[in-house]
Amino acid sequence: MVFGRPARGRFALASLAGGAALGSGTGLLATSAWLISRAAQHPPILFLTVAIVGVRTFGLARGVARYAERLLSHSGAFGVLRELRIAVWQRLERIAPAGLPAYRSGDLLARLVADVDAQQDLFLRVLVPSAVAALVYAGALALLAWLLPPAALVLLAGLLTTTVAVPWLAGRTGRRAERRVAPARGALSTAVVDLLRSMPDLIGCGAADRRLVRVAALDRELIRAESSSAGAAGLSAGLATLAGGLTVCGALVAGVAGVRAGVLDGVALAVVVLTPLATHEAAGALPQVAQQAERVRRSADRVVDVLDRPAPVREPTAPELLPGPPYTLRVHRLRAAWPGASAPALDGVDLELRPGRRVAVVGPSGSGKSTLVAVLLRFLDPTGGRVTLNGTDVTALAGDDVRRVVKLCAQDAHLFDTTIGENVLLARRSATPEEMDAALAAARLLDWVRALPDGLATRVGEHGSRISGGQRQRIALSRALLADPPVLLLDEPAEHLDTATGDTLTADLLAATAGRTTLLVTHRLAMLGAVDEVVVLDGGRVVQRGTHAHLSAVPGPYRRMWDIECWADRGPEGADLAG
C-alpha cells in the first residue's frame, strides 16, 4: 500500500489553495504598491478603480485560500495518518507477541505513537509547502520577467539561495541533532514507563531518587538534542531573512537602473521592489522543510525497523475453511523455536486434546510450556511436525479462525482501567446478564461482586491495581469462560499468587472447566489429580506422561517435583508423606 495515494487529490488542491493564498499575498502587496505610487500622481479616480478592486479581491482571496489550504492539507494528512496507524497495528498483530522481544515497552510506545505521528509532517511541512513555494516562485518570476528581466534574475538568485543553499546548510547543521532526537525520546519514554511501573518497589527499596536522577538526565539529553535542532532552525531562518533582504535590495538597485534607462515605468518600481518581499513569505518556510524532512525520515526509519521484523507466523494466502465442532486438537512431533534462538524450544512433542479432555503440562522453567501455548494459539509457527484441528493443519487456517476455537487465560492477563463488567464483557459484548452471572459464578466471583457497593461497575484500576491478585485472575477466568471457547488454554493461572490462594484458584479452575477441553500449564502439582493426563516437559521434550496418581508413585522427574513441592509446602515431613 502506498500511503498518501488516496488523498493525493486533496494534497494537490491544498497546494493550489496554498499557492493562491501566497499568490494573493504577493498580488496584494504588488497591487497596493502600484496603487500608492499611482495615486501619488493624483490621476482621475477611474484610473485607480481596477487596482482598488484588485486590492480588495486579493485581500479576501488570501484568507479564503489560506483556510482552504489548511482544511484540505490537514484533512488529507489525518486521513493518511489514520491509514498508517491501521497498517502499523495490523502489522504488529502479525509480529507480536513472538516477534518483538528486542524492544523495551517505553521505546516501542515512542516509536508507535510519536514516530508514527511525525509522518504527517511529510505532507503538512514538507510536500505541500514545497509545492506552494514552487507555484509562487513561478508566478513571481513571470511577473518580474515581464516588468524587468534583470530584477527577475536578482529574484531567481535570491530564491536559489533561500531554497537550495540555506536548506542545505540547515540540513548539514541540524542532521546530527535530528539523529539524536528520536532515540533520546525513546530512551526517555522507556525510563518513564519503567519508573511508573516499578515506583512502589523503588520507594520500598529507597532507590526512587536514583531512578529520578537518571530520568532527569535523559530529559536533559532530549532537551539538548531539541535545542540543537532549534538552534539550527533559528540559524536557517535568520539566513533566509538575510537572503530575502538582500534580494529586495538587489531588486531595488535593478529597478532604479531600469527607471533611469527608461525601460521601467517609475510607478512600477514599487512593484519590482516589493514583489520579492512578498515572495519571501513562501521562501522563509523552506529552510525548515529540510529539517522536517530529516526528522520525518529518522522517525520513519524507527517505525520501519519494527515493522520490517520477520513475522513469526505465516498467514496462508488462501486459508482453508474452519472445520466444524466438536474439535480435537492434535500435536504430532512438534518442533518450534523463537526468532533468533539457536536451539529449539520444543523438540518432538506429541499431545492430544479430545473433546472434554483435560491435560496438564508441567515442567521446569524453560522446558517449553509457554512455547507450546504460543504454537497452539498461532502466535508462533512450528519448525517441524504438525498441529491439527480436526485433521486440518492449523498453518493452513487463518490465525483468527484458530483463536476463535482456542482461547487463552494467561498468567498476566491484562485488566483494563475500567469496571469489572467491562473487563469481563471484553470476551463477548452480546452476553446477557444471566450469562455474565454464570461466568462469574463459575470463577467463584459472583458473591464477591454482588457484595461490592458498585457491583459490576466497580473500577479495577490500572492493571487491576485496586483488587487482589487472586481476584484479577478470577476476572480473567470469567472473561475466558464467557467467551465459551471449545478449547481453553490456562497458562500458569496461579503464577503470582501465594501457595494457598494459588491452589484454591487452580481447584476452582478445574471445577469450572469440568467437561470442557482444557490444557492447563502449571508449575503446581497439588491439584492435578482432577485432570485426565499430565505431560512432563524438560528441555523441550516429553519425558513422562500419565495420571497424577501414576506419575507421583513411580521414580522420575514428576516424582522429584512432587517431593520438592510437598517438602516446600509442609516441611521435611511432607517429603516423607509424599514418599
533-538 vs 358-362, strand pairing mode: parallel
Residues 103-162: tens digit of each pLDDT: 666 667 777 777 788 878 777 778 788 888 888 888 888 888 888 899 889 888 888 888
Q: How confident is the model over 208-215, as a mean pLDDT? A: 81
| Region 360-365 average pLDDT | 88
Q: How does pLDDT run across 510-536, given as a tens digit for each residue? A: 777 777 888 988 887 887 888 889 999
pLDDT digits (tens, 9 = 90+) for 286-324: 667 766 777 788 777 777 777 777 777 788 888 888 888
Residue 507, all three cell numbers: 481447584
- SS3 of residue 341 by DSSP: coil
Question: What burial class does residue 169 get, using C-beta atoms within 10 Å of its C-beta: 0-12 exposed, 13-18 middle, 19+ buried?
Answer: middle
Cell numbers at residue 451, please?
457484595
DSSP state letters, 406-462: EEEE-TT----SSBHHHHHHTS-TT--HHHHHHHHHHTT-HHHHHHSTTGGG-B--G
pLDDT of residue 475: 87
Q: Could you identify the residue written with the cell 494459539?
A: 377
pLDDT tens-digit series, residues 497-512: 667 777 777 777 777 7
Tell me the average pLDDT of the chain: 81
Angle separating helix axes 269-283 and 128-147, nearest 10 degrees: 170
Say what the pLDDT of residue 102 is.
57
φ, ψ of residue 183 to 5 degrees: the values are -60, -35
Q: CA 571 to CA 376: how far, in whole Å?
A: 38
| Radius of gyration for the chain, computed over Cα atoms and rounded to the nearest angstrom | 35
**The three cell numbers locating residue 196:** 511508573
Specify which residues 538 forms β-bridges with. 541
Q: What is the pLDDT of residues 34-87, one digit of tens each?
A: 888 888 878 888 888 888 888 888 889 888 988 988 888 888 888 888 888 887
Amino acid present at 566 = C
Q: Please tell us whether the domain made up of 8-307 is placed in CATH 1.20.1560.10.
A: yes
Which strands, in side-by-side order, build the sheet including 517-521? 406-409, 487-491, 517-521, 358-362, 533-538, 541-546
Least confident of 54-58, 99-103, 194-198, 210-214: 99-103
Whether 333 shows a pLDDT value over 90: the answer reads yes
Phi-psi region of 353 (alpha: psi -120 to 50; beta: other; left: phi over 0): beta
DSSP conformation class of 378 = T
What CATH number was assigned to the domain covering residues 329-414+472-546? 3.40.50.300
For the chain, the structural domain boundaries read: 8-307, 329-414+472-546
| Residue-level pLDDT at 577 | 37
